[in-house]
Copies of this chain bind each other. A is one copy, B any other.
Amino acid sequence: MINLGIVGYGNLGRGVKAAIEKNADMKLCAVLSRRPQITQKELADIPVLDSGSLPLPRDIKIDVMILCGGSKEDTPVQGPLFAESFSTVDSFDTHADIPEYFQKMDTIARQMGNVSVISAGWDPGIFSLERVLGNAFLPQGHGYTFWGKGVSQGHSDAARMIKGVIDARQYTIPVENTLDEIRKGNTPELSNRQMHKRLVYVVAESPSEHDRIMREIVEMPDYYADYDTEVIFITAEEMKKNHASLPHGGFVLTSAKTGENHKQIMEYRLQLDSNPEFTGSVLAACARAAYRMKQSGHVGAFTMLDIPPAFYSPLTAAELRHKYV
């Protein structure tokens, strides 16, 4: 049995908890929360502690701590802190800062004899893996990553900042024609506009402001100006009813030619009704991998590129060879 803890009990923490319950070899032994009293009400059977309560009480034994806070504020602090006492898994996704964060986590985890799996999930994570496989197997090829259809929090926030906007929800959508171009074996150089379009649902204070709001969204630099953007005004009720879930997904494609103009196309696709529940499922499997890595003598920080895939599975190597190879 692998004893797990969760740090941070928002959407992702809930996703991890649900995933742990689907894995017979895992047990959730503690949840650390900023609002432990509220969280304890939701989690009757599981010890809930304040996020700051390190060291943990002696009777709580944790093999791997899964960090479910935000990449901006929480993980850069909590990662190094918890890596001193536990093996950890996180989904740190500020791409530009990953090399530095890796170094910091690697140093601490090595010192303490722990394993830290960083930047896990689907992107970074599974998509990183598929990009590397694409490039390694078809080095002469072109690689592409598309995201969506899914909610981008950053773009939703940007639209919400506009005067007169009560609420906004932005969906990033891959351009289907471009996907089909690549699936046909073409390897185009693509602009932002050719890859993704943006669809924004807006609740506005007044219909008289719709035109101005639409213009301000569509023309907003960085966020919208480089894309074809559609703005749809809806009521607060429609927003609540139709846009509460957090779907996401995307595509990793590698297209190459080998030999006499033979097209070879690798395509990986995720279609997720719930981004946090899927990411939580991946993090739970990564916690198993962290546990196994440590058991087999590894220490330090690792990304999903460094983990033998068999380590994610509850089955033994022999069972996998028999059933899955």
Contacts and interface: CB of A to CB of B under 8 A. Distances in A.
A306 B312 contact: no
Contact of A277 (B18, B102, B183, B264): B264
A308 interface: yes
Nearest to A319: B99
Nearest to A271: B265
A318 B99 contact: yes
A68 to B, nearest CB: 15
A58 interface: no
A321 B95 CA distance: 9
A195 interface: no
A303 B325 CA distance: 8
Interface string A263-291: 11111111111100110111001001000
Interface stretch (A130-138, A150-158, A196-204, A210-218): A130-138
A306 B309 CA distance: 6
Contact of A258 (B259, B266, B277, B308): B277
Interface in A21-72: 22-23
Given A22-B140, A310-B305, A99 B271 contact: no
Interface residues of A, number: 66
Nearest to A284: B137
Identify which of A135, A137, A273 gathers the most chain B CB atoms within 10 Å of its CB: A137
B313 A306 contact: no
A132 B320 contact: yes
A119 interface: yes
B267 A268 contact: yes
A278 B264 contact: yes
B303 A306 contact: no
**Which 9 residue pairs across A and B have the least CB separation, nearest first?**
A262-B273, A136-B312, A262-B274, A258-B277, A305-B310, A265-B271, A267-B269, A136-B313, A128-B325
Given A265-B271, A266-B269, 4 more contacts: A137-B278, A259-B277, A306-B310, A309-B309
30 contacts: A15-B259, A95-B325, A98-B322, A132-B312, A133-B309, A136-B309, A136-B312, A136-B314, A137-B285, A139-B314, A183-B271, A258-B274, A258-B277, A258-B281, A259-B274, A259-B277, A262-B277, A265-B269, A265-B270, A267-B267, A267-B270, A267-B271, A269-B269, A303-B325, A305-B308, A305-B309, A305-B310, A306-B308, A307-B309, A308-B308
